Amino acid sequence: MTEETPGFEEKSDVPSGATSDDAEPKAAPEEGAAPAGDGHAENNAGLVAQLDQVRTALNERTADLQRLQAEYQNYRRRVERDRIAVKEIAIANLLTELLPVLDDIGRAREHGELVGGFKSVAESLETVAAKMGLQQFGKEGEPFDPTIHEALMHSYAPDVTETTCVAILQPGYRIGERTIRPARVAVAEPQPGAQTVKAEGAEETPAADDKENGGPDEG
């Protein structure tokens, strides 16, 4: 049995009302440690750099896509032009082979031989050729044009003032603006010296008028 000292009480080192955690001394921050705000700034800078890289890559891919789209559109246009050109060439070749037949139909019509069933077939053929774009040209009396006319005969005539088609020996044909056969014609040029004679006659006319009127008045 131990003896207790009267009036002596054991006191704890921890103040009343404080927890044990408060009693433990707080550790001092380590030297050289970066503040929390600096870490966030570095993270933000890294995200901005990554965002710039993504934007650059997106712009490059967008430019590639636009270039490919433009190349595809150009390719489609080239294919369409080639398709139309091939079609026109094929039609022109076919109609060129039919020109002798059309010439025979024209000669038969001129001689009154285009009658009966032959007439119906001939007119149907001409209608189909016209639907395919074939146009006939060449008329008597029109000025000679070497780009669409082929002169097979030449002569002089006093009643023309320029080189003129006086006879259509074979009509010409075109498809659109493309001539597949020139018109074969006979041409006539003004008579040599006709213009000179006409000019001299015009100069002599006033003198003749003065003679008929009794000449100029004399004072």
**pLDDT interval class at 72 (50, 70, 90):** very high
**pLDDT interval class at 135 (50, 70, 90):** very high
Which pTM value belongs to this model? 0.56
Task: Report the greatest alpha carbon distance in the chain.
Answer: 192
Report the distance separating Cα 39 and Cα 45, nearest Å: 10
Report the distance separating Cα 118 and Cα 171, nearest Å: 21
Q: Which two tokens stand for residue 45?
A: 């800078």
Q: Tell me, what's the pLDDT at 49? A: 85
Residue 147 φ/ψ, nearest 5 degrees: -80, -20
The conformation of residue 162, written as its DSSP 8-state character, comes to S
Cβ distance 129 to 173 under 8 Å? no
**pLDDT interval class at 90 (50, 70, 90):** very high
**CA atoms within 13 Å, Cβ hemisphere of 41:** 5
- Give the tens place of pLDDT for each residue, 20-35: 455 455 555 555 554 5
181 vs 39: which has the higher pLDDT: 181
